[in-house]
């Protein structure tokens, strides 16, 4: 199994840092906000076909039949996250 096999969609992960390419074109205030997520945990939402790990920091407000998400959802390479409380291996 490769190094990525230890992390699956739905796992809780800690953000260890942010790649420069993610911050380069953002306004300074947004860069500060993004850096504030370092060290926090989030659920892994998706691992895309390019091997990037998608996480989000924000809240969802529900109003009747509608919901609105406010926050940031972004992807990072594997080296920028670590698993928190890994699952036990499934018995065969």
Number of CB atoms found within 10 A of residue 51's CB: 10
Q: What is the pLDDT of residue 61?
A: 84
Q: Residue 58 belongs to a domain with what CATH number?
A: 2.30.30
For 30, list phi and psi in degrees, rounded to 5: -75, -35
3-state secondary structure of 17: coil
What integer pLDDT is reported at residue 69 of this predicted model? 76
pLDDT tens per residue across span 21-48: 999 999 999 999 999 999 999 999 999 9
User: Is residue 1 over pLDDT 50?
Assistant: no
Q: Is residue 89 part of a domain?
A: no
Residue 52 pLDDT grade (very low, low, confident, very high; cuts 50, 70, 90): very high
Query: Rounded to an integer, what distance in angstroms lies between the CA atom of residue 44 and that of residue 8?
Result: 7
Domain that holds residue 67: 3-83
Q: Is the pLDDT of residue 9 over 70?
A: yes
Domain annotation covers residue 88: no
Higher pLDDT: 29 or 69? It is 29
Domain count, the chain: 1
């Amino acid at each position: 199994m490769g190094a990525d096999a230890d992390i699956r969609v739905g796992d809780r992960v800690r953000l260890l840092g942010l790649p420069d390419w993610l911050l380069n074109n953002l306004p300074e205030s947004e860069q500060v906000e993004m850096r504030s997520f370092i060290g926090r945990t989030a659920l892994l939402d998706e691992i895309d076909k390019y091997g990037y790990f998608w996480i989000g920091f924000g809240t969802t407000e529900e109003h009747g039949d509608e919901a609105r998400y406010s926050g940031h959802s972004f992807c990072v390479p594997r080296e920028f996250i670590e698993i928190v409380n890994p699952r036990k291996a499934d018995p065969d």
